[in-house]
Structure 1
Amino acid sequence: MAENDRDIAVLGAGMHPWGKWGRNFVEYGLVAARAALADAGVNHLDVGYIAGADTIRNGYPGFVAGATFAQALGWSGARISSSYAACASGAQAIANARAQILAGLTDVALVVGADTTPKGFFQPVGGERRDDPDWLRFHLLGATNPIYFALYARRRMALHGATLDDFAAVKVKNARHGLNNPYARYRKEVSAEEIAASAIVSDPLRLLDICATSDGGAALVLTSMDYARKHGIADPVRIKALSTVTPTFPKTVIDLPDFATDSAMAVPAPDLTFRSSMAHAAYEEAGLGPQDLSMAEVYDLSTALELDWYEDIGLCEAGGAEDLLRSGATALGGRVPVNPSGGLACFGEAIPAQAIAQICELTWQLRGQADGRQVEGARTGIAVNQGLFGHGSATIVTR
């Protein structure tokens, strides 16, 4: 793959296994950071920039994650930043580190995200803040996260004829992918019958259609291409493009509240959906397209949402996701495996870590180090995430 002046190298990737450990999130981030530094062969004293992805459920240290991880590693004088972008927080932290490297302000950056999560599904944060869009989403609209996922599922069924069997097939596939991932929380095959027998959480989605909330951590060591070459790595894995776009949503026609996500009543639909615009921006920056992908890591909050992502990142036309899934193209051994890591189906959500973990997986895949789940001949991958209230991300990684 030809190099351009926006490429940066991924020299190190590290993770703390996902689970429900009940310990301080800093511990998970520290394990992941040290693993990434060891993988890169870099001493933390040589890191010029530390980008932390924030966790807002873990007190003040979570709000200043960059400083928290810098202190845990040992103060070194590095520049720091802390980013919150809901489920795209990790991608925003990567974007900050990348910008510092491309600006020539540092040659080596460390990106870290980690989380400790409460039992059950996520609730609004911030207490009784009735002007807070997250509070309004839950209390005024009644749109808890599982309901939000279920509305998307119902939309697929109505528009494209998706069935419960299709949703189950996504979970079966991802569970099989995650079997050999040592960092995954759930490492067990699941049958369609088990999915159908699991409790209905928000119709039509069953418990096994929806990802869990998890503890975990992930980290990356990113460097300039010159630094990588000087350290004897002639052909590193590289981040070729990263988009962190916002929706196309003209608010001048009608002033809808910030918790509203559908402007169809006010203005014509944009040419690209929010999620497809993320991927489009990254493809344009990289000079690549969906036809160049070897694999994809997508944000499967639910089985139905994974099907939407197939279309959003251009693997098929609108309405074609079910046929693509049924063909086996998105399974290991298929044309473009999706979530070879096992995805959130096997990991669950550790919000600030998950976008970073996706890049860890793509890095190991492109190096040929994904034992038991390796995508043969992998050369290019995309990772996509969507955070609520206008946070989107798509990252293209190549070898």
Structure 2
Amino acid sequence: MSKDVAVLGVGMHPWGKWGQSFVKYGVAAARAALADSGVNWQDVDFIVGGETVRNGYGGYVAGATFAQALGWNGARVATSYAACATGAQALDTARARILAGLSEVALVVGADTTPKGFLAPVAGERWDDPDWLRFRLMGMTNPAYFALNARRRIDLYGATAEDFANVKVKNAKHGLNNPNARYRKEVTVENVLASPVVSNPLHLLDICATSDGGAAILLTSMEYARKMGIAEPVRIKAISTVTPTFPQTIMDMPNFSTDSSSAVPAPERTFKESIGYAAYEEAGISPEDVDVAEVYDLATSVELDWIEDLALCKRGEAEHLLRAGDTSIGGRIPVNPSGGLACFGEAVPAQALAQVCELTWQLRGQAEGRQVEGARIGITANQGLFGHGSSVIVSA
């Protein structure tokens, strides 16, 4: 039995700071995905919304919110939340129902309206939530958290501030021709290094903004795609949403335990490495098969980490790939041809979906001005709060 599902339609609402309801962005993206697919709205039998906790009750019940806004059609609904991995988890919910034979046509929608500045935890005390503790007890906002990882790359692998800046330069160039990107302007290394230091060694232009935006994907069974006359659609081959493995429960770092008497051996992979590995295993491919990647570049240094976490190169070699131009369009393994979060900013429930939209356009050969020639297999990566993470593998 095939575990593939077809991506028949993708759509987005451009990222920016529009000051409108998240529902407006999600509906626009959904209508674009429906138009792209050629599927009749009445055929949609399942709608999954990416939850948006900052946007009131409608955000908490996003599946029903989008279903109502698009016009009730009798479809079943579901709502997913996994912070920055929300879109992939919502996609997995839709895929699972299709593969179970309980649905033929599923619409997945994510959209967000964000506050100015970095994203803080929602109100309330959560003493068992390490991310809440990180913010409230340590004052460790996301930029400071990213800076620790950046400093670690400097100490372990000889990364430089110029390397981090060059990630921004690359992604800004990629995003120039992306009509959905918020920032469409080339920058130089000097521009990045001249921007204010937010948390040493990261500058303002090393860190992504918060944005409004939306993305949607129309998934169908392979049988339905064939009925639509589409014999070879873009397909979802794997979706990974694994959690950390005890005792390696530090989200980004290796296990530093020195207790050799522990009865539980450290797992073979870190949390982020395990996300990509699970996707490769499910899809039956290896990292060498990947042609293009869309990864979670909340900060420039984070992109370098993900390149290694996805085994697209060996640990400590991401800077070498960057310097050689291998991660640019035209290079060996282009990373973030969309421009990434560097050009989009965070619209949390939408960003994992936006990555799959980009890979779909790439694999169809429709990414005008930023096309990765001959791309047949793409991978995404995201990390959400408190052990959530995701990776999606898409093939032509």
Moved over 3 A (4+): 127-134, 258-263, 265-269
Q: Distance in 1 between matches of 2:205 and 2:353?
A: 24
2:175 to 173, 178, 196: 178
Within a 5 Å distance, the mapping from 1:1-399 to structure 2 comes to 5-129=2-126, 132-250=129-247, 264-265=256-257, 269-399=266-396
Query: Contact 1:113 / 1:218 at 8 angstroms: preserved in 2?
Result: yes
Contact 1:137 1:259 in 2 (8 A): no
Report the alpha carbon displacement of residue 136 of structure 1 after superposing the two structures with TM.
Answer: 1.5
- For structure 2, the 5+ residue unaligned runs are none
Instruction: Report the Cα offset of residue 130 of structure 1.
Output: 5.1
1:350 Cα deviation after fit: 0.2
* Structure 1 residues 86 and 262: CA distance shift in structure 2, 3 A: farther
In 2: Cα distance, 1:124 partner to 1:224 partner: 37
Q: CA deviation at 1:140?
A: 1.0
Residue 368 of structure 2 aligns to which amino acid in structure 1? D
Instruction: Give SS of 2:54's match.
Output: coil
Contact 1:298 1:343 in 2 (8 A): yes
8 Å CA contact 1:244, 1:278 repeated in 2: yes
Query: Whole-Å Cα distance in 2 between the matches of residues 280 and 260 of structure 1?
Result: 15
CA distance in 2, matches of 1:262, 1:292: 26
Partner Cα distance (1:249, 1:201) in 2:
33
> 1: CA distance between counterparts of 2:230 and 2:285?
24
Q: Return the letter of the residue paired with 1:153.
A: A
Q: CA RMSD in A?
A: 1.7
What is the aligned-residue identity percentage?
71
CA distance in 2, matches of 1:154, 1:248: 25
Which secondary structure does the structure 2 equivalent of 1:89 belong to?
helix
Q: Secondary structure at the match of 2:53?
A: coil
1:196-217 Cα deviation digits (max 9, x unpaired): 0000001110000000000000
Summarize deviations over 1:165-184 as a string: whole Å, max 9, x none.
11011000000000000000
Amino acid at match of 2:137: L
Q: TM-score, normalised by structure 2?
A: 0.96
Whether the 8 Å CA contact 2:247–2:266 is kept in 1: the answer is no
**1:311-369 CA distances to partner (integer Å, 9 max, x unpaired)?**
11111111111111111110001011000000000000000000000000000000000
In the alignment, the residues of structure 2 paired with residue 24 and residue 309 of structure 1 have an alpha-carbon distance, to the nearest angstrom, of 32
Output the amino acid matched with 2:160. T
Distance 2:266 2:198 in 1: 31
Cα distance in 1 for residues equivalent to 2:290 and 2:56: 39
> How much has 1:261 moved relative to structure 2?
7.5
Q: Deviations over 1:265-297 (max 9, x none)?
A: 366643211111111111111111111111000
- Report SS of the residue matched to 1:381: strand
Whole-angstrom CA distance in 1 between matches of 2:287 and 2:255: 28
CA-CA distance at 1:250 after TM superposition? 3.0
Q: CA 1:236 to 1:260, structure 2 compared with 1: closer, same or farther past 3 Å? A: closer
Residues 68-107 of structure 1 deviation map (CA, whole Å, 9 limit, x = unaligned): 0001011111111101101100000000000000000011
Which whole-Å CA distance do the structure 2 matches of 1:88 and 1:134 have between them?
15
Q: Secondary structure at the match of 1:394?
A: strand
What letter is aligned with 1:94?
L
CA–CA separation in structure 2 for the residues paired with 1:27 and 1:249 = 42
Distance of 2:394 and 2:252 partners within structure 1: 33
How many corresponding residue pairs?
391
Matches of 1:110 and 1:246, distance apart in 2: 26
Deviations 1:41-83 (A, max 9, x none): 1122210100111111001111111010001011111111101
Distance across 2 between alignment mates of 1:125 and 1:61:
16
Distance 2:46 2:121 in 1: 31
Contact between 1:16 and 1:183, CA under 8 Å: does it hold in 2? yes
| Residue identity in the other structure for 1:111 | V
Classify 1:261/1:390 alpha carbon distance in 2 versus 1 (closer, same or farther; 3 Å).
farther
Specify whether residues 315 and 130 from structure 1 end up closer, same or farther in structure 2 by C-alpha distance, changes over 3 A only.
closer
Indicate if the aligned counterparts of 1:249 and 1:263 stay in contact, CA closer than 8 A: no
For structure 1, the 5+ residue unaligned runs are none
> Is contact 1:50–1:78 with CA below 8 Å preserved after alignment?
yes
